[in-house]
Amino acid sequence: MASEDDSQAPGGSLEKWAMPLPEKIPPSTYAPIFLAVGITFLLFGVVGMFIFSWAGLVLIIWSVSKWVGELLHGE
């Protein structure tokens, strides 16, 4: 029967395991919300007025550029 020693981990000894690095959570951003509103406006403009499509397209371009910019700069 196996020994019930608590000092042994399932994969071997605990000394071989690496300590995890502290996880850095990125700050919150409003870009996904504006992206969703932009998509909604774009689709509503197809069946409604085209001014909503233009506003939706502008919101989509702005929110994607802001979101990607934040990710690239590590803000």
Question: What's the pLDDT score for residue 24?
Answer: 77
User: Model pTM?
Assistant: 0.64
CA 56 – CA 45 distance, rounded (Å): 8
pLDDT, tens digit (0-9, with 9 covering 90-100), for 3-62: 555 555 565 566 677 777 777 777 788 999 999 999 999 999 999 999 999 999 999 999
Both tokens of residue 71?
Answer: 């990710």
Residue 69 in contact with residue 31, Cβ under 8 Å? no
User: Nearest 5°: phi and psi at 8?
Assistant: -100, 130
